[in-house]
């Protein structure tokens, strides 16, 4: 990368960051508006979620008005935005608690899982992908490709069930469904909501162990997907680069093979990889409802889905905003890196 390009970086960064703020706002409004409309279109009745299916009509009507559902949609939306600007995400119907409290409880569970799965995917997937590309057509390539394909073709909630059966029920190597054994619950004070971190902070190694034992299976199952995808894309990107002329030139000039691979080809791949890793991480953060269901994992995916089925729109909106912000944030971040790292992509 040339010096001239580097000098232009701070200004470009400032401009991009400014743009990010604006687009974030735009995305955010679009997101909430769409969710709001969905709340209206959904056949699930939020009033019934409160009053139960046997409620007499007068009770129903009372709650209907209390929830402001008799107002026009734009007015309801405006009220929500107003409420939101005060930092109030509303109260969940399903949990009878402020949505914010719920999110603080459920999101870290997904964050913990998604982060570990992505880290596993990155640290195993990238070397595998590079190896496969370098040894294209040879057995490491075939092994990596087939492994990756198998991982990718696996219905992961089925894999989760089988894994639970084998490693928990039969072999007793790991913990069962849930984040920790229930009787450990409530002992460690939730500081970050990430049980591993909390337990470590509190020095509760027994709980830490327990949490790790519960985390292993779901994160491995999720990582299967991340790993397969990242390895595959790495291989694909690396192949593109290794066939480029500059690689040939470098080789001709006598640059060592590891240097060609890592310093030249891989650096160029990095840019595209960031997008891929970002997408993967973001999609895992969204919460894999099925994996969370199989492992009874109280994550954001389950939270949003159950809320949705219960017509609990404050909760759905809150969850959607959090996931949406994560998604947009990660994508913007990768976009930013993209523009800063790759001179070609710069306008």
Partner 1 sequence: MIHSLKRLASLLGWNKPIAPRSPVAIDRAPAISLPGIAKRPRRRSPLVLACASILLASGAHAATPKNTFVMAKDISDLITLDPAEVFELSGGEVIANLYDRLMMYEPEDLATLVGGVAESWEVSGDGKVITFSIRPGLTFHSGNPVTAEDVVFSLRRVAKLKKTPSFIVTQFGWTPDNVDSLVVVDGGKARITITEEFSPGLVLNALSAGIGSVVDRKTVLSHEKDGDLGHGWLKTNSAGSGPFMLKTWKANELVTLESFPGYRHGAPAMKRVIVRHVHEPSAQRLLVEKGDVDLARNLTPDQIKGIAGNPDLAVDADPKGALMYLAANAAHPIVGDPRVSKALRYLVDYDGMAGSFLAGQQRIHQAVWPSGLWGALDETPYSLDVDAAKALLAEAGHPDGFGIRLDTLNAAPFPEVAQSIQSTLAKAGIEAEIVTAEGKTLWPMYRARKHEIILARWSPDYTDPHSNVDAFARNPDNRPEAKLTGVLAWRNSWQDEDMNAMVVAARNEPDLDKREQRYHAIQRSLQESSPYVVMFQQTEQAVRRKNVQGFVSGSNFDLVFYRNVTK
Partner 2 sequence: MSADTHQERPPRTGLRTWLLSDTPASVAQARCQRFYLAWLAFRSNPIAMTGLGIVAALVLMAILAPWITNGSGLEPELGNRLQGASAEHWFGTDQLGRDLRDRVIWGSRITLYIVGLVGIIVVPVGLLIGTVAGYVGGVVDNVLMRITDVFLAFPRLILALALVAALGPGLENAILAIALTTWSPYARIARAEALTIRNSEFILAAQVQGASTIGILYRHVMPLCVSSVIVRLTLDMAGIILTAAGLGFLGLGAQPPTPEWGAMISTGRQYLLDQWWVPTVPGIAIFVVSLGFNLLGDGLRDVLDPKSGR
State yes or no: residue 323 binds partner 1 (CB under 8 A). no
Residues forming beta bridges with residue 98, ordered by sequence position: 91
Phi first, then psi: give them for residue 313, nearest 5 degrees.
-65, -35
71 by DSSP, 3-state: which? coil
State yes or no: residue 253 binds partner 1 (CB under 8 A). no
The one among 3, 172, 252, 254 contacting partner 1 by CB under 8 A: 172
By CB under 8 A, the residues from 15 to 74 that bind partner 1 are 42-45, 48-60, 62
By CB under 8 A, the residues from 194 to 213 that bind partner 2 are none
How many Å separate Cα 275 from the centre of its chain?
Answer: 13
Q: How far apart are CA 251 and CA 258, in angstroms?
A: 11
Alpha helices in the chain (DSSP H): 3-7, 9-41, 46-51, 57-66, 73-85, 99-134, 139-153, 156-163, 195-202, 205-242, 245-252, 257-258, 267-285, 289-294, 300-309, 313-341
By CB under 8 A, the residues from 202 to 221 that bind partner 1 are 202-206, 208-209, 212-213, 216
The one among 40, 65, 97, 346 contacting partner 1 by CB under 8 A: 97
Least Å distance, CB 285 to partner 2, is 10
Tokens of 170: 């039969």
The one among 114, 188, 228, 277 contacting partner 1 by CB under 8 A: 188
The entry of partner 2, partner 1, none near residue 243 (CB within 5 to 8 angstroms by kind) is partner 2
State yes or no: residue 187 binds partner 1 (CB under 8 A). yes
State yes or no: residue 145 binds partner 2 (CB under 8 A). yes
Binding range to partner 2, per CB under 8 A, among 115-123, 187-195, 203-211, 277-285: 277-285
């Amino acid at each position: 990368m040339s010096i001239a390009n580097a000098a232009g970086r701070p200004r470009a960064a400032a401009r991009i960051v400014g743009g990010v703020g604006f687009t974030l706002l735009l995305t955010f409004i679009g997101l909430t508006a769409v969710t709001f409309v969905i709340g209206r279109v959904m056949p699930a009745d939020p009033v019934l979620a409160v009053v139960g299916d046997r409620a007499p009509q007068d009770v129903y009507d009372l709650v209907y008005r209390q929830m402001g559902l008799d107002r026009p949609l734009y007015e309801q939306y405006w009220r929500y935005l107003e409420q939101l600007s005060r930092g109030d995400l509303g109260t969940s119907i399903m949990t009878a608690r402020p949505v914010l409290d719920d999110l603080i409880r459920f999101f870290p569970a997904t964050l913990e899982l998604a982060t570990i799965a992505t880290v596993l995917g990155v640290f195993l997937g990238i070397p595998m992908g590079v190896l496969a590309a370098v040894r294209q057509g040879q057995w490491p390539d075939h092994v990596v490709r087939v492994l990756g394909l198998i991982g990718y073709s696996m219905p992961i909630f089925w894999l989760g069930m089988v894994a639970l059966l084998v490693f928990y029920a039969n072999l007793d190597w790991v913990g069962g469904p849930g984040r920790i054994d229930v009787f450990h619950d409530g002992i460690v004070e939730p500081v970050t909501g990430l049980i591993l971190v909390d337990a470590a902070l509190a020095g509760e190694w027994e709980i830490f162990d327990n949490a790790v034992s519960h985390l292993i299976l779901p994160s491995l199952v999720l990582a299967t997907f991340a790993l397969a995808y990242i390895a595959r894309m790495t291989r694909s990107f690396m192949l593109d680069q290794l066939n480029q002329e500059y690689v040939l030139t470098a080789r001709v000039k006598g640059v060592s093979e590891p240097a060609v691979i890592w310093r030249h080809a891989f650096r160029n791949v990095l840019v595209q990889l960031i997008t891929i890793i970002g997408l993967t991480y973001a999609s895992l953060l969204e919460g894999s409802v099925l994996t969370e269901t199989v492992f009874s994992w109280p994550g954001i995916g389950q939270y949003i889905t159950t809320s949705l089925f219960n017509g609990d729109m404050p909760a759905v909106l809150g969850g959607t905003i959090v996931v949406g912000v994560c998604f947009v944030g990660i994508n913007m971040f990768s976009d930013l890196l993209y523009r800063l790292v790759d001179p070609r992509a710069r306008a």
